[in-house]
Structure 1
Amino acid sequence: MIKGRVILTVAAVLAAGAMLGGCASRPGLDVLAPSLAEAPGATPHTVLVATTRARDPRPGVLFNGERSAKLDFATVTLTVPPTHKQGAIEWPKQAPGNPNTDMVVHEAVYRDTDAQFVADLNAQLAKRPRGEKNVFLFVHGYNTMFSEALFRLAQMAHDADATAVPVLFTWASRGKTEDYVYDNNSATAARDSLEHTLTLVAQSNAEKVTIMAHSMGNWLTVEALRQMKIAGTILPAKRVGNVILAAPDIDVDVFKSQLKRFGKPEKPFIVIVSHDDKALGISDFIAGGKQRLGAYNNDKELVALGAVVVDMTDVKSDGDELNHGKFAQLAGLRSQLRQSVEQNVTSSGGKVPETVEFGQIQISGVTPNFGGF
């Protein structure tokens, strides 16, 4: 009887999460249908994809939420409209979308082998000048459709005005609130594939690699990096830009044990937290009341373990009642954040301050190389 009550309670919590997030519109299944239309002022972005999702034969879908038996690849070119607002995703109201007002896919090509993925990556890197041949690899979180992960990465790359090649590692999330356990197992099963993807990126001509993970994707990312550290295959520090953990859905105690085994990194992990993150509150409940890293409030302890803590609690989250997607706003603030850190260092006589205030954002454990965020 008690077991039945627990199941009903968890179901009720997940349903509440669905209702809380219900105000945010989600794309249709065919949102990735390619468009041949062009728009003056629309900005193109080419995203390389590595995935453990299964291919989907339906037009405009590409990959679904079921697990593939092997790592798969794709290269997608899309555009961001001239009317784009920072932090937003302009979903097509109907496929294939209007590039004047919507984020629109123009070409999507499957790739079958490691060699094809690396070749496409090197082709994109060759378009960048020396010193800017970098990669930005994004790992999404729970309850995320392929199209949502793809467009979110394009939004961040665009808002940051980044020159790095965007690479999406997307694992088999079904994109449904009620599939939390399935998603968690899919993320766990994808650890070796993420490790393999990072190895392929390391084999490319990329000068530096920055990794950003969101929500449940952080569990997968930290585990993959931990595996590589133990195996001695981790990327050398000089080739790592930053490792950014946004709203990490990781048990705090588990993260502490991971870092102790991993060792204090040469470049500290950047942990983005928000104490009003309702999605992580739900995850806390499901996990038996164990606080998640993305809502942890002991910044000093995280700094001591080897982290820079970016606290976004006081930042207003437009259109996100769960307060779980605030990290996406940081892309548009990248230059200002870097300048703020540099100014604080200058005003402190060259010393790096323990904390930096930037509007409603507080940064603890600042280091000199944080300016590259």
Structure 2
Amino acid sequence: MVTISLMDAQDCVCIRGTPAALVSLARRLSAVAALAAASLSGACAARPETGFLAPGAGIEAGAAAHTMLVATTRKRDEPPGTFFDGERASPLDFARIEVSVPARHKPGEIEWASTAPGDPKTDFVVRQAGYLEGEKAFVRALNAQLATRPRGSRKVLLFIHGYNTMFAEGLYRFAQLVHDAKSPAVPVLFTWASRGELTQYVYDTNSATTARDDLERTIRLIFASDAEQVNILAHSMGNWVTVEALRQIKISGDLPPIGKLGNLVLAAPDIDVDVFKSQMRRFGKPRKPFYIVLSKDDKALGASRFIAGGQERLGAESHTAELAELGAVVIDLSDVKATDSTNHDKFAQLAEIAPQLESTLAHGVHRRPGTGAAQEALGGSLEAIVSVPVQILGLPMKIIAQ
């Protein structure tokens, strides 16, 4: 039996165990520490723990407002301007929040306030906000937003955030995506009970798993609304709860009107590759392709892989041809320079080029004119799997599809 002491300026933790077990644990702790150091090196001085969602910001010239609907498994938080914390709650709760994006916003970024609640001239701030009491109120609010769009354009974009995400962080990231993409869809945020702490990976994993039924319920409510099309975007660990919820819907046999499903995008998915393949066997090959956005230099998923005993994560998968065979279109951002130190949030940079990227994907990689020698076959004939390097507004990527 061996004892290891882990010490810093404030704490001393003693761990007992066999040498082999302690070496394994020490390596995993080192991976988490490395991830923390990388994250903090590029982070703002303070994270938005309390008060950063205080409503009441004025209307600033040039600022843009986005009305976000929220469905959550988080517990309501008492401090003003916070709304929800990282603890789990039941039943499913709802809110409506209007976010203002400053005129001097830089695409791909979130202009965080240095102190709460922020300045609408320079920061992401909240104009109006309030809880919605129950499912019926949520659906009424959703249909009211859809009614402001013309028929044929009544779309919903559902976003599910990832690990280590406070409520304000998930909300403002989604607002950034909607704003940069100039999306006409009604934005709906599903936010599960992440504590927003790097050391809470296991808690967050269990929270995501616990939220499966509530995400399924949220998806069913949206499909039963007046929406004509429902698009789904998940990031990081949010992909785990998303794919699990969709799997539950498939198993139930009680399918929502599938014709309403638009694009399904899995960005930097923190899912064990073998688990994902087993999930896909349950789904079967989809009628229309879904999209996996990945980067082979994703440091956050590298740490996740180490914590998981070396099992490859879907968002850093190097065997992209295998994913294409499952029915996915893979968007490889490995050559894109990240704006965050962990290379985990590259997907946020896609929002600005969303219309051009959607047009490229709609034409299909086989049929894109002018690809010539840049188009390469992977693992078989050109008709099977192809990989096409693409640059859109200077953003280099590779699209792999069947």
Q: How does 1:156-305 map to 2 (within 5 A)?
A: 156-305=177-326
What is the deviation of 1:340?
A: 3.7
Please state whether the residue corresponding to 1:60 is helix, strand or coil.
Answer: coil
Who is 2:357 aligned against? 337
TM-score by length of 1: 0.94
For structure 1, the residue ranges without an aligned partner over 5 or more in a row are: 367-373
What is the deviation of 1:107?
A: 1.1
C-alpha distance after superposition, 1:58-112 (max 9, x if no partner): 0111000000021100000111111011000011222221111111101111112
Which of the residues 334, 348, 361 maps onto 2:397? 361
Who is 2:75 aligned against? 54
Q: Which has the higher contact order (CA 8 A, sep 6+)?
A: 1
What is the deviation of 1:347?
A: 2.3
What is the deviation of 1:335?
A: 1.8
Who is 1:119 aligned against? 140
Is the Cα–Cα contact under 8 Å of residues 57 and 120 in structure 2 kept in the other structure? no
C-alpha distance after superposition, 1:283-330 (max 9, x if no partner): 111111110000111111111111010000000002x11100000011
Who is 1:371 aligned against? none
Between 1:131-140 and 1:331-340, the stretch displaced more is 331-340
What is the deviation of 1:49?
A: 0.3
C-alpha distance after superposition, 1:202-237 (max 9, x if no partner): 111000111111111111100000000111233344
Is the Cα–Cα contact under 8 Å of residues 242 and 269 in structure 1 kept in the other structure? yes
What is the deviation of 1:6?
A: 3.6
Look up the equivalent residue of 2:36 and give its one-letter code.
A
Look up the equivalent residue of 1:78 and give its one-letter code.
V
2:136 and 2:129 map into 1 onto residues whose CA distance is 18
1:16 and 1:234 map into 2 onto residues whose CA distance is 43
Q: How does 1:39-78 map to 2 (within 5 A)?
A: 39-78=60-99
Does residue 1:24 correspond to 2:43, yes or no? Answer: yes
Who is 2:4 aligned against? none
2:129 and 2:401 map into 1 onto residues whose CA distance is 41
What is the deviation of 1:346?
A: 5.6
2:57 and 2:267 map into 1 onto residues whose CA distance is 35
Look up the equivalent residue of 2:77 and give its one-letter code.
D
What is the deviation of 1:19?
A: 0.7
Please state whether the residue corresponding to 2:65 is helix, strand or coil.
Answer: strand
What is the deviation of 1:338?
A: 3.0
Is the Cα–Cα contact under 8 Å of residues 225 and 234 in structure 1 kept in the other structure? no
Look up the equivalent residue of 2:43 and give its one-letter code.
A
Is the Cα–Cα contact under 8 Å of residues 94 and 133 in structure 2 kept in the other structure? yes
Who is 1:91 aligned against? 112
1:87 and 1:149 map into 2 onto residues whose CA distance is 14
1:234 and 1:307 map into 2 onto residues whose CA distance is 21
Is the Cα–Cα contact under 8 Å of residues 49 and 82 in structure 2 kept in the other structure? no
Does residue 1:108 correspond to 2:144, yes or no? Answer: no
2:275 and 2:57 map into 1 onto residues whose CA distance is 48
Please state whether the residue corresponding to 2:342 is helix, strand or coil.
Answer: coil
Look up the equivalent residue of 1:304 and give its one-letter code.
E
Does residue 1:152 correspond to 2:173, yes or no? Answer: yes
Who is 1:15 aligned against? 33
- Counting matched residue pairs gives 364
C-alpha distance after superposition, 1:251-270 (max 9, x if no partner): 10000000001111112220
TM-score by length of 2: 0.87
1:6 and 1:55 map into 2 onto residues whose CA distance is 38
Between 1:1-10 and 1:197-206, the stretch displaced more is 1-10
Who is 2:3 aligned against? none
Larger radius of gyration: 2
2:121 and 2:49 map into 1 onto residues whose CA distance is 19
2:359 and 2:272 map into 1 onto residues whose CA distance is 33
Does residue 1:321 correspond to 2:353, yes or no? Answer: no
Who is 1:369 aligned against? none
Please state whether the residue corresponding to 2:331 is helix, strand or coil.
Answer: strand
Counterparts in 2 of 1:224 and 1:343: CA distance versus 1, 3 Å = closer
Does residue 1:347 correspond to 2:369, yes or no? Answer: yes
Look up the equivalent residue of 1:330 and give its one-letter code.
L
Between 1:79-88 and 1:333-342, the stretch displaced more is 333-342
Look up the equivalent residue of 1:21 and give its one-letter code.
S
Between 1:352-361 and 1:320-329, the stretch displaced more is 352-361
2:154 and 2:357 map into 1 onto residues whose CA distance is 22
Is the Cα–Cα contact under 8 Å of residues 272 and 294 in structure 1 kept in the other structure? yes
